[in-house]
Chains A and B, each alone.
Chain A
Amino acid sequence: MRCDFCGYEFQEEEGNRGCKSCPVSAGCRMVKCPRCNYEIPPEPRWIGRLKKLFNK
């Protein structure tokens, strides 16, 4: 994925997630950019599958 703030490209697994001290983290799936910590919503799986289907 690409950070919308600094443009850094990284694997979704590299990003920081679900900050433990956040009281709303249970419902939050945001991925934080490893370089600038900007929060990026990950692409839902069903949209990814849909894209793959159309790309075939």
Chain B
Amino acid sequence: MKLFGSKSSCHTPAADVKCGAKKVALVGNPNVGKSVLFNALTGSYVTVSNYPGTSVEVARGTAVIEGENFEIIDTPGMYSLLPMTEEERVARRIILDEPLDVIIHVVDARNLERMLTMTLQLLETGKPVILVVNIMDEAERLGISLDIPLLRQRLGIPVVGAAVGKKRGVAEIRESLVRTREASRTLPPYSKRLETDIAEITGLLQSRFSLAAKAVALLLLQRDQEMTDMVRAAEGEGFAVVEAKIKDRAYARRESFHLDLSLERKKIAEMLLAGVFHAPDKRRVLLSEQLSRWTVQPWTGVPLLLFVLYFGLYEFVGVFGAGTLVNFLEGTVFEGHFNPWIIGVVKSLIPWPVWQELFVGEYGIITLGVRYAVAIILPIVATFFLFFSVLEDSGYFPRLALLVDRLFKKIGLSGRAVIPMVLGFGCDTMATMVTRTLETVRERIIATLLLALAIPCSAQLGVIMALLSQEPGALLVWVGCLILVFLLVGVLAARLIPGETPMFYMELPPLRLPQLGNILTKTYTRMQWYFVEILPLFLLISVLLWIGKITFFFEKMSSWMAPVMASLGLPRETAVAFIFGFFRRDYGAAGLYDLHTKGLLNPRQLTVAAVTLTLFLPCVAQFLVVKKERGMKVAAAIGIFVSSFAFGTGYLLNKLLLATRFL
């Protein structure tokens, strides 16, 4: 890390940076429109690269304004100069290390008071700052008015009111970039006591830093490790005196320095905004804001979640997609017209029964593979992805993360684990890969286990819902079993695997009305991906199944698994669905669909088979990813545990249903 101020260098990874270009950093909280401003200021030639030594990506672009060259850096979101996350650390390192000519601080006009405290911190660095009060349009819609010229006068820096998404204020920002040269302003002082503390530290510092001495002193007093190391290295032996003074101040304040400083900054922000920020006495609460609050509060959020699941999953995906659409495609189109026709064609072209079997037999490529993919799975995933895209585009998922955060903490996860869990309902294999983004190894293992065990993928979920929606009692038992298993295994895993659950916090993006264009685009892209991926696999599996049939492998497997099936109270033919399920989860569920259609399963057997199959081993692809991500030992342990647990649960459920005669 660079300690001392330095002149602009051309040796940066930026895109086509001209020598002597002014370096500008866009800084601010997440979701305040930094990237939109970055795009508005820079051209299309932008480089994105990991910040050295981190996995955080930083975008750099160039701009020419009134003949002057600029290099613009889009920094990761940060809440304060005192970093907590890796993203914040990177953003601060840019402020510390890069020879910045200007910092553009982008804030949300609706939350100006809260965000202005960071403007104060940026001003304390001694670097020239431009304040962009963004999202003015939304603030005005809420009845908020801002006196920008007065704020400009009080801060002594350029302040621009903007709505950069609508290009409002962009010209003014460009102009300010050209005009801003020196940092010349006087900030209201802190309390006498705090100013004395700061002065005592700054008086001891001998070196010159890239930040102004006041900012350095404040970070030292907040016990910032990175800054402490920097100052120790720069000051050498003299640091002992500085360190003693910091300890002395910390002792005097009984470690309440952070709180004192935050309160003082808040007070200064309030003072600066007096007469600048006018919000209506009774702020009009928009319907979207009210709905947003309801979604995250347990008493309203849980009923809302159940409402969404009932109408979205049960009625739309289960009854309409997996019922009406599948009945039409599978029953009318395939069984009624397509299959009889194609069987006739193949039999007239191929005289050998074994080869006829390959294409149009019981496990034929066309009569099984294509039928499963097109007539059963496709309508189900299409309706599921449509439902998923509506929720996604509305901004509901981050609220779900907040809603379940407390519950997830009990099972060793944080709300952040909602991302892989939600994605698991699409495809468990991809979701298992996403578990790598969780903060601790403990969280990753628990999430991987729960994905393998209790989260059915979209197609499996749809087919099972189609099967069970005809028997509401069976559906209730299936849902109850999965929730119980999810919580029970989660709680046990959290107790057995040592470690702490990380904190989870996130800035909520606004809840909005889903856009039809976005929904259709996302549904189409997901369906296209799904179809491209599954069709070749379904055809390949059909060939494997055909080989299994002509070599009597399935008969042997069915005989071998017959005692296991019998212990679950299931007919021996069900073994085939479990074998299918290991190839692909949805293929197994579709196999169950076939058995039910043939009348081989009563409601109790259907429920036991559906619960066991859902909990059963993940498909081959997911198993490979678990092995890759968590190692062979963990993968094997999860595989053995999941299989035993699935059959154990199936066995107990069967006994329970027989004893209670519930189904």
Contacts and interface: CB of A to CB of B under 8 A. Distances in A.
A5 to B, nearest CB: 5
A16 B419 CA distance: 16
B281 interface: no
Given A14-B48, A21-B433, A43-B521, A28 B533 contact: yes
B67 to A, nearest CB: 27
Interface size grouping (class) on chain B: 35 or more
Nearest to A21: B628
Interface string B447-476: 000000000000000000000000000000
Interface string A1-25: 0001111111101100001011110
B48 A11 contact: yes
A14 B49 CA distance: 8
Contacts of A41: 521-522, 525-526, 529
B434 interface: yes
B395 A7 contact: yes
Contacts of B39: 11
B525 A44 contact: yes
B533 A24 contact: yes
A34 B529 contact: no
A14 B59 contact: yes
Main secondary structure of the interface of A (DSSP, over half): loop
B395 A4 contact: yes
Interface in B173-201: none
A46 to B, nearest CB: 10
A26 B532 CA distance: 9
B99 interface: no
B392 interface: yes
Contact of A9 (B35, B87, B437, B524): B35
B130 to A, nearest CB: 20
B575 interface: no
A18 B524 CA distance: 19
A6 to B, nearest CB: 6
B264 interface: no
B16 to A, nearest CB: 16
Contacts of B526: 41
A39 B434 contact: yes
B621 A6 contact: no
A54 to B, nearest CB: 10
A14 B57 contact: yes
Contacts of B77: 8, 35
A9 to B, nearest CB: 4
Main secondary structure of the interface of B (DSSP, over half): helix
Nearest to B87: A35
Interface in B411-468: 416, 419, 423, 427, 429-430, 433-434, 437
B226 interface: no
Nearest to B536: A27
Given A6-B509, A22-B433, A24-B430, A38 B419 contact: yes
A4 B614 CA distance: 28
A43 B389 CA distance: 13
A51 B625 CA distance: 37
Contact of A23 (B30, B509, B621): B621
Contact of B430 (A13, A14, A28, A42): A28
B164 to A, nearest CB: 11
A2 B369 CA distance: 37
B629 A21 contact: yes
A8 B46 CA distance: 17
A32 B533 CA distance: 19
Nearest to A40: B522
Contact of B30 (A8, A19, A39): A8
A23 B624 contact: yes
A13 B423 CA distance: 22
Given A41-B529, A47-B521, A7 B507 contact: yes
A9 B40 CA distance: 13
A3 B623 CA distance: 28
Contacts of A19: 433
A8 B38 CA distance: 13
Contacts of A23: 429, 620-621, 624-625
Contacts of B393: 4
Contact of A6 (B30, B46, B624): B30
B35 to A, nearest CB: 4
B379 interface: no
A20 to B, nearest CB: 9
Contacts of B621: 23-24
B397 interface: yes
A41 B392 CA distance: 11
A22 B625 CA distance: 6
B624 A44 contact: no
11 contacts: A6-B507, A7-B398, A10-B59, A35-B30, A35-B77, A36-B506, A37-B434, A37-B437, A44-B521, A44-B525, A47-B524
Interface of A: 4-11, 13-14, 19, 21-24, 26-30, 32, 34-39, 41-44, 47, 51
